[in-house]
Structure 1
């Protein structure tokens, strides 16, 4: 247990990931006085404009635009933000898949990619880190690499013999994977939306998931976050090049979501403090008053 101010680091691959994964819970913790730092491993430079109503963006404008959007999103969530400084790898498509672009994040040697994150862990001194599972949540090369550098930082940041010159060692106490995009959650929301007499955006998604099953995470920790869904939605809308305001993110009636699934869900991947599962708090086992 600790009596000092609690600190949470959320490690993400691209700007906008922080607003679609765990955003309401990070906003909740920030509002409660926890120091929350969002880390973007890449600048999202190779992201396409996914909002059909946005219009075209010149290629030389995308980097600056993504940074502007990220600043607005961080303000909406009430969190701090840092760029890790790597270049987006893009999402290769085709058969066979084309090679990743030279110099991108996913092609970096692990120690090169992890060094700035180790330095940031040592500087910020988080008690808890959130990141993606070994599949990246979905198999985007930057998401998989985000998992790898997060695990490297988790293991190495507290070891004085590793990554010399990157600050005073610090040992985080808990590590979580995001588990929000589960078939269980989507199926429950789908049924609740239909029961409310509305059209569900999840029918096709559920059919595809059943036809091509993907590994389901074990949810250990459900953080009540419904009061901060508006902050999450504001952060999502801030990423206007990426998020369609008429798309599926906003197709779920918020009163239905708050009633049916008022939590954001995580899997406890590693812990250095005793904790009892299931949890309703990422800082379970760390708070002095519990």
Structure 2
């Protein structure tokens, strides 16, 4: 049996200010759809509870890995309906985002009023627990580069598929026991313009934003002002995340980007970071979206060199760079 992640944040939300569920949706030992036996809570957030579960169909088929993570929507009324829509849309979207640096989603279903999503069970910790902010000490460069390239590859793939994460932060970056970096929690992800369900999606996302779905300290100024999300919003959050990885501290002492802009705050250059890398990172954290790089690939080409540019990220990761 694989080692279970201790009760820390894994794939649930939990860093926003959303209403917290007062009870667990199910007792341990419950089987959903007669298949997924819930055996341990591994994460709780404002919108969901995540369980380590045994998939008895896989177990009977002697699958190599019968253990899965089951994310159960657990918002109280009157938010439950929106949470149910969100979890099924997240599952549908992520099933189309198959990538080694994005958590794998297998299915979603419901049993009576219980709506849930089934994912791969990860072993390891989130970046937020590996590197708590405020320590003043970041990761060493080889580790930092691996995290940065892994997140970049995940974002580049998602953006290429027309999906914007919208809530990138250390708690949504997972480092597996073997060092693999996985981006989690596309629960608030949105498609770029033109989606057929754009009106319904916009209504649900804005509704959940009101109950705390957005993480203000990693949100771009335009997102905080109520603008529709764009890939540039992810780029801004990626810049802040990289700064935390390198420095062990938030660039604006966890003030929001709007507050930092009003106060005229500017992040200090991370010690030892090469000038060309600092220029690229500063541009990524620009308050003005027009001043940011046009894409993840464009940023990576400036930050780490041309071989990390367009169509090269995944090959580089496969080679173990």
TM-score above 0.5, yes or no: no
Give TM-score, length-normalised by structure 2. Answer: 0.26
Question: Relative contact order, CA 8 A, sep 6+: which one is greater?
Answer: 1
